[in-house]
């Protein structure tokens, strides 16, 4: 692997300096014979999609070749690290590919029969068995487990929690004992208190957050991945659910007050990360749309970029553009903090120390 040299203003600190990329790592020490691939501009740690489904299609499992195409789309849009939030396809072979984004896997979604999208996750008939299934998924993932916290209950006619609170307590304890963190899909209000009381490590979507649950997230330092571009689909979901008017009205209400809810979370001090929910109804390669949406609801441009770059990388166990870090670098001709649209047009994409775009 030929050593590379890049020069530019390094974000987020804003200092102009040189980086050398050797054997997939960054060093600040000059390397003789390195090929200069970036001479000026702005350097950013590779983007992160913290809620992405490489290996999932609208009908559930997909062929590995299709998952590979999804991964290439993410990479070509600057996403060099993905937190998979549950897929039915075994994507471990893609993790061995040096030309594809790094994937932090979460195994399968854990749900109950007729309480989530068919063919997406594992259906658990007896909710008391959730801890057993969590233990199994700890072994299949890379330190994350994904629960479905709420979904429409057709008998109730609205969103409702899937799991008893005492079962959540035990299931999350099992995950933590196995060295894994647990995240949960939650649209509504009712499931949040039980998940937070049980020690959940992250909330996905979070449109039903209230003042009380926001305060609890701050107290426990539980982050939120709001998937704002996915929430834009709620009116369409409501339209298709006419036979459940209570559910449809609830989804429309959650959508209508989403921006207000997110601003309240930001103002209170909840940490947000960027995730698109790509892989089913959301197309891959839309992380910049999500970054722009995060800015719309209250993050500064620098905070919104950090939520999809250096801060998200650190959260997932990776690093920014520091000595010894992974050589995942994006270069831009102009400062993306001045105009987020700049993120759509990197002048260079370097993954594991190799120019891939």
pLDDT digits 0-9 by tens, 125-158: 999 999 999 999 999 999 999 999 999 999 999 9
CA distances 108 to 53, 86, 287, Å, are: 11, 5, 23
> pLDDT of 327-343, one tens digit each?
999 999 999 999 999 99
Q: Please give the pLDDT value at position 280.
A: 86
Prediction pTM value: 0.97
The tokens describing 38, both together, are 């970036």
Give the model's confidence band at 111: pLDDT under 50 very low, under 70 low, under 90 confident, else very high.
Answer: very high
Per-residue pLDDT band for 160 (boundaries 50, 70, 90) equals: very high
Domains in the chain: boundaries: 4-44+320-355, 47-315
Band (pLDDT 50/70/90 cuts) for residue 84 is very high
Share of the chain above pLDDT 70, in %: 100
pLDDT value for 12 = 97
Query: What pLDDT is attached to residue 266?
Result: 98
Please tell me if the domain spanning 4-44+320-355 has the same topology as the one spanning 47-315.
no
Looking at residue 318, what is its pLDDT?
A: 98
> How far is residue 90's CA from residue 65's CA, in Å, rounded to a whole number?
12
- pLDDT of 1 > 90? The answer is no
Are 276 and 229 in contact, with CB atoms under 8 Å apart? yes
Distance from C-alpha of 236 to C-alpha of 215, rounded to nearest angstrom: 31
Q: Check pLDDT > 90 for residue 285.
A: yes
Cα–Cα distance between 80 and 355 in angstroms, integer? 12
| The listed CATH number (3.80.10.10, 2.40.30.30, 3.40.50.300, 2.30.40.10) that belongs to domain 4-44+320-355 | 2.30.40.10
Express as a percent the part of the chain with pLDDT over 90.
99
Which whole number is the average pLDDT over 306-325? 98
Class of domain 47-315: alpha beta
The pLDDT assigned to 195 comes to 98
Q: Is the pLDDT of residue 282 over 90?
A: yes
Sheet containing 144-148, strands listed edge to edge, beginning at the edge strand earlier in sequence: 122-123, 109-111, 144-148, 181-186, 202-205, 224-225
User: d(Cα 11, Cα 42) in Å, to the nearest integer?
Assistant: 7
Q: Who has greater pLDDT, 322 or 1?
A: 322
Mean pLDDT value across the chain: 97
**In this predicted model, which residue has the larger pLDDT, 193 or 280?**
193
């Amino acid at each position: 692997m030929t050593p590379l040299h890049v020069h530019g203003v390094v974000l987020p600190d804003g200092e102009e300096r040189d980086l050398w990329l050797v054997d997939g790592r960054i060093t600040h020490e000059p390397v003789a014979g390195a090929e200069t691939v970036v001479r000026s501009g702005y350097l950013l740690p590779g983007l992160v999609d913290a809620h992405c489904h490489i290996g999932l299609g609208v009908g559930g499992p997909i062929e590995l070749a299709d998952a590979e195409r999804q991964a290439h789309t993410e990479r070509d849009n600057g996403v060099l690290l993905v937190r998979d939030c549950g897929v039915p396809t075994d994507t471990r072979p893609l993790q061995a590919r040096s030309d594809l984004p790094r994937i932090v896997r979460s195994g399968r979604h854990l749900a109950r029969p007729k309480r989530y999208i068919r063919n997406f996750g594992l259906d658990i008939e007896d909710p008391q068995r959730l801890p057993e299934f969590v233990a199994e998924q700890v072994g299949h993932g890379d330190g994350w487990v994904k629960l479905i916290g709420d979904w429409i209950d057709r008998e109730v006619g609205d969103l409702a929690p899937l799991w008893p609170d005492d079962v959540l307590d035990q299931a999350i304890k099992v995950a933590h004992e196995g060295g894994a963190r647990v995240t949960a899909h939650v649209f509504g209000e009712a499931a949040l208190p039980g998940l937070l009381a049980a020690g959940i490590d992250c909330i996905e979507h979070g449109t039903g957050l209230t003042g009380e649950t926001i305060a609890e997230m701050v107290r426990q330092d539980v982050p939120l991945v709001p998937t704002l571009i996915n929430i834009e689909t709620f009116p369409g979901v409501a339209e298709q659910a006419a036979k459940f008017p209570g559910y449809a009205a609830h989804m429309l209400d959650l959508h209508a007050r989403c921006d207000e809810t997110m601003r309240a979370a930001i103002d209170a001090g909840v940490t947000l990360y960027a995730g698109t929910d790509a892989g089913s109804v959301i197309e891959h390669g839309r992380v910049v749309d999500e970054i722009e949406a995060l800015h719309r609801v209250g993050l500064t441009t620098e905070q919104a970029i950090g939520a999809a770059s250096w801060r998200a990388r650190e959260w997932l166990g990776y690093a920014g553009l520091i000595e010894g870090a992974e050589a995942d670098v994006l270069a831009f001709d102009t400062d993306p903090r001045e105009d987020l649209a700049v993120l759509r047009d990197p002048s260079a994409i370097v993954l594991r120390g190799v120019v891939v775009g």
